[in-house]
Structure 1
Amino acid sequence: MAMIPPYQQGVMVHAAQSDLSGTREERRYLTLLFADLSHSTALAERMEQEHYAALIADVHAIYQDVIERHGGEVEQVQGDGVLASFGLAGRAEDAGRRAVQAALEMHERVRCLATPLPDGLAPSLHSGVHSGLVLVREGRAILGKRELLGPVTNTAARLAAAAGPHEILVSEAALGPARRFFVTSPPQQLEVRGRSDPVLVYKVDARAGSSEAVKAAWRAGTEFLGRAAELARLDAALDEAMAGHARTVAIVAPPGQGKTRLVDQFLAGALQRGCFVLRGYCEGTLGGEPSEPFRHMLQALGAEAASATAFEQVLEPVAREQPVVLSIDDWQWADDASRSLLASLRTRRGWPLLVVLCARPVQDATGPMPADDVFPLPPLSADESRQLVATRVPGADPFIAAKICDAAGGNPLFLEELCHSAARGQAERRPGGANAGWLSQLVQSRAEGLDAAQKELVQVAAVIGNVVPAWLLETLTGRRIDDAVLGQLVERDFLFAGERAGTLRFKHGVTRDILYDSVGLHARQALHLRIAEALRQHTSGESRDDALEAMALHYDLGGDAARAADCAEQAADKALSLSALDRARALYRLALASLDKLPQTPESALRWVGIVQRLGRVCVFDPVRSELALGQRAIALAQEHGDASTVGRVHHWIGYMCYSLGDTRAAIRHGELALSAARATGDAKLEPFAVALLGEAYCAAALYDRALPLLDEAIVVKRRHHKGRTNVGLAFSLVCRAYLLAERGDFDGAYGCFDEAAACIEDVTHEVGATVEGWRSAVLLWQGRWQEARDAAAASWRVAERTQSLAQMSIARAMGAYAEWMLEGRPDSIGTIVEVLDWLRPRDSCLYRSLYHGWLADGLLAMGRREEGRAHALQALRRGRERDLLGLPMACRALALDAVVHAPGRAERYLRWGMRAAQQRGSVHEIAGMQLCAARVALRAGEEARALGLLDEAAAAFSRLRMEWHLAQAEALRGEVTRGR
């Protein structure tokens, strides 16, 4: 028997597959249209049977004719209703637009039926349109020629049921950017039975005229970013046209590259320069008419004829009065009549006319683009992409922003959609799964243009991942990296050479995810398992360690939970050892989820508990509140299957989770339980760690008298066991001791502890390094050494960025911004702190959150933004009730100074609150700071003697503590009092 090549052995992913019963099926992104005759029951009861049958026959004929002319397929007709699909055959990217156009035409034709009806009744339809991923399976006689299965079908049906007579409800997933082609209602949230989340829908009333579409695009548009060179090129062409030299310009780029947004921006400028603007688009389906784009323009002018002569006759008087700009979208689908009309217009060289064509590159183009200037539109640069994300998703943390930019690959349309997903709180979902149906259909349409070999290969690559090792692709498909089919995929802008030699990458992560979702479940699972096995057989030693993460993911998606758990746990341990916190967290979570799929035994339960403890180490530096639930379950499993020492260790790590989340009371409780268990069982290894946790938790609660002896005890033990490598526990305890000493006025002792903590770190990129430099910055801020504080915050930021710790990056960024505020007084520095707080809000976590609110109260009230400033001061007061006291005195000082102007009777109350918090902490520098603030308030009230007394006390403290900036403030205020006398 001849050897069968690997790519013919059933390994490849085919567009049509079979389920276990042998029925052919495939997963496709489709737009579905449901339509029903309104009041059909009343019509049937009040009409003669023959007349009602004739009405239904007419409606069915309308369904068939209109749906097919707009490129759709009638899937099922039952009674007076129809289910149609768009995007299954032919182009898919504009399926939503075509479905809505079909619905509008069906409604109009049913409304105009001449069938005699009883008085008071008129024929009308109600329709629903929705898009998404659908399982398409061969149908049976009772079900129609195909079965369309999944939630998209149900949602489309629910939208139709919710629509009233003459109404068309269209989801945002189906309409997307095509909304500008229609007159719609404002968007509304519709609760749909069977869905956990509401659907954003529009009522579509009519097709928009070209001028209405242009204006709608401008109104709906968001701030335009980038493309300065391309805009300048268009403006130069407009200058020539306005000088009487007719010009035609063509912008050529793949779908989603931003052609339409660029033209929208340009046309807005042309309108402001006094130009007359018309816009049309080409239809590529049977629903289009000859000279379609010029018909759109004539309709906007109130005319109907579309011959070259007639169009020019209508346009000529307009061109005599003002320059004219014609814009045509999707020129690659232009019919011969449109091409002929454009050719005639281009001979009118004396007209002040500019024609702007937008087209995508097509391989079977019949000739050169009919334009004087043709230019491509490249992807957005990395800087432009980051700027767009920052504008569309204010407050997005750096990791989410980087994810969006990486997945979009500079494609503006993908960037926009991913930003919308992030703004809806869906940033953590896989982009392909969260995308709107219209975007998925756009990608699918590009894939449909591939031949069978190209399509199979790109789908296999999609299952492998966004980065595709060439050896792995060859193992699975038999095609080498220099294979012609791979070269064709590179030319078609699907894949390109990866950063590492011997790899390929998808041009856009969104493209990869959508192609992945289109692969059938059974084929996808089988392929994942083959990939995992290929990785296992191909690697060994260090290369096996590098492949563990990929193996874990492929075993998981292939359904082998046991091997997924093994690989994920090993990969997570390695990631944690390398301080890759985000990867360690994701892999530990995968290991836990995989173990949950297996039968539970006492051994597997204790393994689960052990993984949660290691996840706790990640949470120390990058806490996530949702993981507390894992900790509570770990405690229950440890109590059921483990001994008292095991339970104590779980309490120890859950205590650290609570500590890092800012829940100090819970941290103290778990710390006490861990210490009690260690002493009861004689666990000499656990005891010093429990002592350290309890000391650090007391320190966070400003219970310094309880904290100091515990910290000293832990430090003595850990120093004894320090053997040269990074000692995280010793460094952490030293940091806590450092800021405790600073609170008590011993800044020199504090900096000594910071230096010793830094010396404990062998690897300068270890996450504890961000903690050391972060707290050094905080203490420098307390002492008023603003520039040094900013430098230390920058050092902390660099380590946190390397280790992917959002919590540490946030505090470092905020401290650096507050130092900048004190140095330069720039409002954007306070804006940075607001942004940082937004990063943390989704996690509902932050150690010493009151600091952020204190800084913001101080800055915002000083800038005159009273409502915002007072809101943050209130948040600091609320945090104070949870024993988070660090930001409370600062917030009270800001409130007191604000009250002097706006509510003098309240100033003393705020001063008392702030002084009480400072005294509770035993914070020498905060007490002096409150005295300085009280002196300012007393001076405003005319109490000069009291002000001088307070200044004497504050200045003496500032001098003793070497707080030079604060001392200068006190001396300046004293000078004001003296001069006033």
Structure 2
Amino acid sequence: MSDTHPDADADSTVLGRRYVALLFADLSQSTELAGALEAEHYAQLLAALRRAYQDIIPAHGGLVVRVQGDGVLAMFGYPATREDDGRRAVEAALQLHERVRDMHLELAGVPPLALHTGIHSGLVLLGVGDIERGRFELLGPVPNVAARLSTAASANEILVSEESLGPAHRFFSTGPARSLEIKGQAAPMTVYAVHGRAGLAEHLDNLERYRYAPFVGRRAESELLETRLAEAIAGRSHCLAVAAPAGMGKTRLIERVLANAAAQGCRVVRGYCESDLGAEPLQPFVQIVESLSREMPEKAADGMCGLFAQLAQQTPLVVFIDDWQWADELSKQVLAALRRLRDCRLLIVLATRDAKADGVFPVANETIALAPLGDAEAAQAISARLPAVDPFVAAEIARRAGGNPLYVEELCHSTARGDTAAVGRPRGNAGWLSHLVESRVQHLPPAQTELVRMAAVIGNVIPVWLFETITCTDTDSDLVRGLAEQDFIFPGELAGTLRFKHGVARDIIYESVGLHERQQLHLRIAQAIQRHSAAADHDEALEALAYHFGAGGDGASAARYAELAGDKALKASALDRARAQYRAALAALDKLPDSSEAAQRWVSIVQRLGMVCVFDPSRSELALSTRAVHLAEQFADAASIARARYWHSYISYSLGDARSAIVHGERALAEAEAIGDEPLAIQIVATLGESHVLAAHYEAGLQLLDRAIEVKRRHRSGRRTNVGLVYSLVCRAYVLGDRGRFEQAHECFDDALDCIVDETHEIAATLHGWRSAVLLWQGRWHEARETAVMSGRIAEATRSLSQLSIAQAIAGYAQWKIERAPHAIQAIVEATDWIAPRESGLFRSFNHGWLAEGFMAMGRREEARHHAALALRRVRERDLIGVAMAYRALARDATARRPGAAGRYIEQALRVARERDSAHEIAVTRLCAAEIAIDQGRAEQAMALIDEAAAAFDTMRMAWHLDEARRLRSLAVAVAA
């Protein structure tokens, strides 16, 4: 697979896609200079600038693309991408700025000469240039961003994007990170002003400050390093190498041991090697000697050995050299001599990508090869970087990172910045990371480069038969085995598959393949899958067919297969896959010509997407359902219009928008009844009932639910789960529970459970979730926790983030009531944070009420008041379920500070509880009022309140609360006495 554009005959100017670093530099105040100089003198200045550009940029491995006036555009990464292209661009910029500063114009009133420069890296489409466009034509957003960085730079300033600098940050002295708005970029860009090259001390400090993923795991490796350190301190010298590909955390592991060595009184010295850029003979050892303020011995190896032996006699010595794979020959000779030292208190630790020198002999006496992080370690690293991330996003990050800590860091950084459109992808395909991966690809033999690019187009997981069909290469060949040895693709966990070791690498390689070539490959792959599936189970290939036809530009086929894949996923209760496929089908339909048929298909798919939203709501679906109503009104019949409006109502309900759900539901019901569509009318009646329950209109809600339940029971077959009937029964049970009629509530839950044929269906997660909430109201903490855990297991299996969030929050609150441990409240915080980006508000006041109570009990007053305010804000949406709890937390907070306000908060809690007709809430609020009365010395009033509450608890069989009432009454009696 060449870089030549496949449509060369149609467009011979296109050379292909490249990951490059671009440097834009301009002369500062050039207008003033042109006005102050004679034309001949200005021409001489421009000639001097151009000589500087032509001398310096190629010396750093760059190409001058275009010189226009006093400015230059230079490219680093052509014809071959190198992992340090971004660094090369910065080095070139520093030398250019230095050269221009040294150009003197001895003219009065003329400012000193200076450049302003911008540097940015990424993927560009490369074309043949001309007299206007320069040596090459560069297309894509990267040139525009680099130019804007140059414009934003001040005189004598070099602005570099964080994406370009990456770990090369350690080589430079920079200012603090700046956030810069770039036109055309969705989010502000992080940039640094580079002041100069870093000295050794600053380089090491930058290395420490530029952290990858947090240090996790590596226990066995750490213990081995610590053992060797102890042996060295005891007088047995050792040379040990830590070997792994870039980003595996070699330096982080070693730094922990160095810190321990220093704590034990060892002298720790450091050096690092560089690639050809800036490398010099004996570089790491020269750095070490300079740090010790001694002169370099004339006989390098012998002198170094003597110096280190002398230092080790004084105190144990630890020598660390980073990036040993780039060591020069003289440094290797010095190391060989040092390794011959025996009975010396010396430990040499090397960080290297290559375990063997020259591919044959080991670089050290012993080598620790770092393996990728395990699942638990990756999860720990992700949690440390993204404490509020939901578990499904965390799992996707771990999968795509493939255990590489550096990739974990980049993917977490993208997610933290809100780049959720492509979860599990590095931010903007971070320039320096793309250069790192692409440089490895370009170092492969051409045949392997061809294979790995074709594999990237097939996907992250690659069926062996498809790989062999498309590439005409046997997977047992040396070429494919070589790709495994190079950490690209290897046998997958499923038999008959290959897999990219790192999904991040696959994405970067995929993006480097030209658009037209990609499209042709995707279509070939889709056609091969069609042929292969003809005699087998066609359903197994639906997602792959949808993906490859879509990427190949066949929108009609993509829409058809994505719709079928969504149906299959919904039937299997794979909610996230159903959502993704339905949305892909809608996107594919949008690319087809407008027609009545396409519009009606669009409306139909949105309605099925609504089934996903019911169990796992996301506000983005609301805009789709709004559009579906408009399309139905424009292209469809009355029945389709009523159905579209019904689903809009249902999606509004699932998002917690009770008012909107009721308004649209009532209109949909009128439309369904007008056309005599009784089945649809009953569905709408059920949804209206559920919406009224959400709004705490319990009487209206129960009447509608009972009407729907009666009809649905008559049509129940028993052969499959009647989702609508189950949900209506669950809502009815919830109302009974809130009213304190717990026995009837649990009977209703049992009735609903009997209607479920498959207990792994997402409706089972809903049933167990709301039953656990009712158990909470009754004070049956252990049962509530166990039932919530059961709900969470089903939610994980069906990949419903909303249901999982509810289950974890309920389990957390139950755990809090059992043991009063802060980690239980933290579980509610996490569950609440998971769902926050979706702006879903179904009973969201529940979480905030629990958090207000928990934080107040822990003495974390500001957090408690914050969550109480969030619960009260939900009143506008008629979400009252956690409001009384929030008022009780505020009342407890006001007891000592504002006794009068405490009473008012209690009255508000009682008002909301009565509005809900919530017997248990009224009783619990009276118990809270009694507790406050005891604190204020009003024992007689407290006992009266306790007696009322205790009678209610006894009637409702709220045993735990009844015990609390008895405990408080004893306390009140003691206060009264």
Q: TM-score range by the shorter chain?
A: over 0.9
**Residue 6 of structure 1 corresponds to which residue in structure 2?**
none
The correspondence for 2:922, drawn from 927, 931, 937, is 927
C-alpha separation between the residues in 2 aligned to 1:581 and 1:388? 27
C-alpha separation between the residues in 1 aligned to 2:717 and 2:122? 58
- Say if 2:18 is the partner of 1:28: yes
**Residue 599 of structure 1 corresponds to which residue in structure 2?**
593
- Say if 2:842 is the partner of 1:847: yes
Contact kept? 2:779, 2:958, Cα under 8 Å:
yes
Cα deviation for residue 114 of structure 1 reads: 6.5
Distance 1:532 1:638, change over 3 A: same
Contact kept? 2:550, 2:588, Cα under 8 Å:
yes
**Residue 550 of structure 1 corresponds to which residue in structure 2?**
544
Distance 1:240 1:389, change over 3 A: same
The correspondence for 2:112, drawn from 122, 133, 147, is 122
Cα deviation for residue 161 of structure 1 reads: 2.2
Cα deviation for residue 350 of structure 1 reads: 6.2
The correspondence for 2:78, drawn from 67, 88, 94, is 88
Unmatched 5+ stretches in structure 1? 1-11
C-alpha separation between the residues in 2 aligned to 1:349 and 1:117? 67
Counterpart residue type for residue 604 of structure 2: G
Give the alignment's TM-score, normalised by structure 2: 0.95
Q: Helix, strand or coil: the match of 2:546?
A: helix
**Residue 912 of structure 2 corresponds to which residue in structure 1?**
917
- Say if 2:212 is the partner of 1:218: no
Matches within 5 A, 1:416-815: 416-429=409-422, 431=425, 434-540=428-534, 543-724=537-718, 725-815=720-810
Q: Deviations over 1:224-257 (max 9, x none)?
A: 2222222222223333333444432211111221
Q: Helix, strand or coil: the match of 2:196?
A: strand
Contact kept? 1:210, 1:297, Cα under 8 Å:
no
C-alpha separation between the residues in 1 aligned to 2:155 and 2:24? 14
**Residue 3 of structure 1 corresponds to which residue in structure 2?**
none
Distance 1:509 1:792, change over 3 A: same
Q: Helix, strand or coil: the match of 1:682?
A: coil
Cα deviation for residue 70 of structure 1 reads: 2.6
Contact kept? 1:27, 1:519, Cα under 8 Å:
yes
Counterpart residue type for residue 795 of structure 2: A
C-alpha separation between the residues in 2 aligned to 1:260 and 1:435? 24
Distance 1:428 1:387, change over 3 A: farther
Cα deviation for residue 977 of structure 1 reads: 2.0
C-alpha separation between the residues in 1 aligned to 2:234 and 2:70? 59
- Say if 2:225 is the partner of 1:234: yes
Cα deviation for residue 216 of structure 1 reads: 2.8
**Residue 255 of structure 1 corresponds to which residue in structure 2?**
246
Cα deviation for residue 888 of structure 1 reads: 1.1
Q: Helix, strand or coil: the match of 1:714?
A: helix
Q: Deviations over 1:756-798 (max 9, x none)?
A: 1111111111000001100110110000000100111011001
Contact kept? 1:189, 1:199, Cα under 8 Å:
yes
Cα deviation for residue 305 of structure 1 reads: 5.2
Q: Helix, strand or coil: the match of 2:877?
A: coil
Distance 1:932 1:790, change over 3 A: same
Cα deviation for residue 910 of structure 1 reads: 0.7
Cα deviation for residue 528 of structure 1 reads: 0.8
The correspondence for 1:955, drawn from 950, 959, 977, is 950
C-alpha separation between the residues in 1 aligned to 2:93 and 2:42? 22
**Residue 292 of structure 1 corresponds to which residue in structure 2?**
283
C-alpha separation between the residues in 1 aligned to 2:109 and 2:702? 91
**Residue 177 of structure 1 corresponds to which residue in structure 2?**
167
Q: Helix, strand or coil: the match of 1:970?
A: helix
C-alpha separation between the residues in 2 aligned to 1:681 and 1:667? 21
Counterpart residue type for residue 720 of structure 1: R
Cα deviation for residue 962 of structure 1 reads: 0.6
- Say if 2:387 is the partner of 1:397: no
Give the alignment's TM-score, normalised by structure 1: 0.95
**Residue 122 of structure 2 corresponds to which residue in structure 1?**
132
C-alpha separation between the residues in 2 aligned to 1:293 and 1:67? 27
The correspondence for 2:323, drawn from 308, 330, 348, is 330
C-alpha separation between the residues in 2 aligned to 1:175 and 1:24? 28
The correspondence for 2:158, drawn from 155, 162, 168, is 168
Range with bigger deviation, 299-308 or 384-393: 299-308
Contact kept? 2:3, 2:15, Cα under 8 Å:
no
- Say if 2:381 is the partner of 1:388: yes
Range with bigger deviation, 636-645 or 504-513: 636-645
**Residue 68 of structure 2 corresponds to which residue in structure 1?**
78
Q: Helix, strand or coil: the match of 2:678?
A: coil
Contact kept? 2:808, 2:831, Cα under 8 Å:
yes
C-alpha separation between the residues in 2 aligned to 1:973 and 1:81? 81
Contact kept? 1:209, 1:300, Cα under 8 Å:
no
Counterpart residue type for residue 218 of structure 2: R
Counterpart residue type for residue 764 of structure 1: E
Contact kept? 1:609, 1:634, Cα under 8 Å:
yes
Q: Deviations over 1:682-725 (max 9, x none)?
A: 11111110110111111111111111111111111111111011
Distance 1:294 1:224, change over 3 A: same
Contact kept? 2:19, 2:81, Cα under 8 Å:
no
Contact kept? 2:414, 2:426, Cα under 8 Å:
no
Q: Helix, strand or coil: the match of 1:630?
A: helix
RMSD of aligned Cα (Å): 2.3
The correspondence for 1:272, drawn from 244, 250, 263, is 263
Contact kept? 1:858, 1:869, Cα under 8 Å:
yes
C-alpha separation between the residues in 1 aligned to 2:104 and 2:37? 14
Distance 1:369 1:61, change over 3 A: farther
Q: Helix, strand or coil: the match of 1:145?
A: strand
Cα deviation for residue 812 of structure 1 reads: 0.3
Q: Deviations over 1:633-678 (max 9, x none)?
A: 1111111222322221112111111111111111111111121112
Cα deviation for residue 488 of structure 1 reads: 1.2
C-alpha separation between the residues in 2 aligned to 1:256 and 1:801? 31
C-alpha separation between the residues in 1 aligned to 2:428 and 2:346? 43
C-alpha separation between the residues in 2 aligned to 1:106 and 1:23? 31
Contact kept? 2:411, 2:427, Cα under 8 Å:
no
Cα deviation for residue 89 of structure 1 reads: 4.3
Distance 1:273 1:127, change over 3 A: farther
Counterpart residue type for residue 26 of structure 1: G
Unmatched 5+ stretches in structure 2? none
C-alpha separation between the residues in 2 aligned to 1:662 and 1:269? 54
C-alpha separation between the residues in 1 aligned to 2:688 and 2:316? 77
C-alpha separation between the residues in 2 aligned to 1:117 and 1:335? 48
Q: Deviations over 1:889-911 (max 9, x none)?
A: 11122221222123222110110
Cα deviation for residue 363 of structure 1 reads: 8.9
C-alpha separation between the residues in 2 aligned to 1:806 and 1:155? 37
Contact kept? 1:741, 1:747, Cα under 8 Å:
yes
Counterpart residue type for residue 748 of structure 1: E
C-alpha separation between the residues in 2 aligned to 1:673 and 1:818? 39
C-alpha separation between the residues in 1 aligned to 2:183 and 2:645? 43
Range with bigger deviation, 534-543 or 922-931: 534-543
